[in-house]
Structures are given as structure tokens and as C-alpha cells.
């Protein structure tokens, strides 16, 4: 009888409306488990107070972003929140790292997840490693309150994000998991459970 030979790395993607704490959950996983890296994505939006280039995002000018698009450096890229800013995930930060068997956690918007799901259809490595989790807020009012409490967006931006949230919430059933958001601790514990269970999947222990 053969025994488990491998422990293949995972790419866990968290998506869902703004204000559900996706970034904090990814950071938390990377902080608690030294083997997990948070994927740094690219954006053309300006850094918020306290955000650091190369840590929170790769903050790019529109020209730098367009150059990466022309070089086919992105696995996916999209305009998020009513076409305000560009965001993109580098192949070097995802596919290359998975090839090196590095465990990854990341958060992107629902368009990004759809692009990953499509890419996985023709990419055996990605298909074997991808786990998608939708974070469902309990209500739109709760998101609005979280955005107000965060204090980083003006009213116009909050309205834009709420409009995106409404549309994103329709897509929950295209994910592997849907987590109804509770307290930060509850959400983190559920994400950990999903991660641990997915690491034991037999399809990730063989060739
Ligand atoms: P924020 O501007 O608040 O940091 O992020 C706005 C949204 O962009 C969030 O939903 C975040 O998950 C998403 N996002 C961040 N990076 C990427 C990316 O590389 N691709 C896509 N499609 N969405 C991203």
C-alpha cells in the first residue's frame, strides 16, 4: 500500500465585499503560519496612510501597470470599484511561487477570482492548488458601518463600495466555501479550519 508522499502547497483566495476583513484574515494566516505567504498584488491607487510599497501592495503608476500588462506579467487584472483603479495579480507572485511549493493566501475581488477559476481549467497545477472562499457579510448595513469606522474613505467612495458589494454578494455560490462573517476571531478560526482541512486533501498528497 502506498503512503502519502507529498504536501502540495495551496493558494487560498479570499473574496467578498469590501469591509469584511479579508486583508486582515490573510495577514493573520501569514503571521500565524510561517509557511504561508500573503500574495502582494499591484494597484494604481494611492497608498493609504500606513500602507507600504511591497508590503501592502506594489503601488504602480498607470504607465508601470500598462507596461506589465503588455509584458503579460499578470495572471489577472481588473478595474475595481466602478472602474476607479486598476489592480492585478502577478504570475511571478502566484504561479512561480506555487511551482516552488510555497503556501499562499491572498484577497482579490470577484472578477479576479473568476479569472483564477478560468485559468485553473487549463492549468493542472493551479487547479490542484486553488481554494476559493467567499466572505459573506451579515448585511450591507454592517459593511457600511465598518467602512465608516475604518475612516479611510469619503462618502462617495463608501457609496461606490456598497454598490460593488451588492453585486458581488450574488456570486457566493461559485466558490468552494462561503463563510458568513461573524467576529474577527470567529472568521479567523473558520479560515484556519478550511486551510487545515484542505491541506489534508488526498489529491494534494499524491504526484
Ligand atoms: P483596496 O483598494 O480596498 O485595497 O482593495 C479594493 C479591492 O481590490 C478589494 O476587494 C481587493 O480584494 C481587490 N484587489 C486587490 N488586489 C487585487 C488584484 O490583484 N486583482 C483584483 N481583481 N482585485 C484585487
Cell of 129: 492548488
Q: Which of 26, 44, 112 to mutate to test the pocket of ligand 1 (most atoms within 8 A of CB)?
A: 112
**Any ligand 1 atom below 6 A from CB of 109:** yes
Q: Are 107 and 12 in contact (CB under 8 A)?
A: no
Q: How confident is the model at residue 207 (pLDDT cuts 50, 70, 90)?
A: low
> What's the pLDDT score for residue 3?
75
> What's the pLDDT score for residue 117?
98
b/e burial code for range 141-159 (CB count within 10 A of at least 16 → b): eebbebbeeeeebeeeebe
pLDDT digits (tens, 9 = 90+) for 152-201: 889 998 998 898 899 999 999 999 999 999 999 999 999 999 999 999 99
Q: Are 39 and 91 in contact (CB under 8 A)?
A: no
pLDDT digits (tens, 9 = 90+) for 8-30: 999 999 999 877 889 999 999 99
* C-alpha 106 to ligand 1 mean position (Å): 10
CA-wise closest residue to 77 among 108, 31, 122, 36: 108
Q: Are 25 and 186 in contact (CB under 8 A)?
A: no
Q: What percent of the chain has pLDDT over 90?
A: 77
pLDDT digits (tens, 9 = 90+) for 123-157: 999 999 999 999 999 899 988 998 898 888 899 98
Q: What is the 3-state secondary structure (H, E, C) of 93-155?
A: HHHHHHHCCCEEEEECCHHHHHHHHHHHHCCHHHHHHEEEEEEECCCHHHHHHHHHHHCCCCH
* C-alpha 48 to ligand 1 mean position (Å): 14
* C-alpha 5 to ligand 1 mean position (Å): 36
Q: How confident is the model at residue 82 (pLDDT cuts 50, 70, 90)?
A: low
Amino acid at each position: 500500500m502506498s503512503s502519502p508522499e507529498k504536501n502540495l502547497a495551496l493558494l487560498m483566495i479570499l473574496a467578498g465585499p469590501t469591509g469584511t476583513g479579508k486583508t486582515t484574515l490573510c495577514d493573520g494566516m501569514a503571521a500565524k503560519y510561517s509557511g504561508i505567504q500573503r500574495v502582494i498584488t499591484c494597484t494604481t491607487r494611492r497608498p493609504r496612510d500606513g500602507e507600504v510599497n511591497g508590503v501592502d501592495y506594489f503601488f504602480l503608476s498607470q504607465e508601470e501597470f500598462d507596461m506589465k500588462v503588455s509584458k503579460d506579467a499578470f495572471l489577472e487584472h481588473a478595474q475595481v470599484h466602478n472602474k476607479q483603479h486598476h489592480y492585478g495579480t502577478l504570475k511571478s507572485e502566484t504561479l512561480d511561487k506555487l511551482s516552488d511549493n510555497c503556501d499562499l493566501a491572498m484577497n482579490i475581488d470577484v472578477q479576479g477570482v473568476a479569472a483564477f477559476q478560468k485559468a485553473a481549467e487549463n492549468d493542472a497545477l493551479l487547479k490542484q492548488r486553488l481554494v476559493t472562499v467567499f466572505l459573506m457579510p451579515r448585511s450591507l448595513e454592517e459593511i457600511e458601518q465598518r467602512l465608516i469606522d475604518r475612516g479611510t474613505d469619503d462618502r462617495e467612495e463608501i457609496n461606490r463600495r456598497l454598490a460593488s458589494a451588492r453585486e458581488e454578494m450574488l456570486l457566493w455560490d461559485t466558490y468552494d466555501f462561503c463563510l458568513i462573517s461573524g467576529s474577527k476571531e470567529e472568521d479567523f478560526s473558520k479560515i484556519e479550519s478550511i486551510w487545515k482541512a484542505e491541506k489534508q486533501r488526498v489529491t494534494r498528497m499524491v504526484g
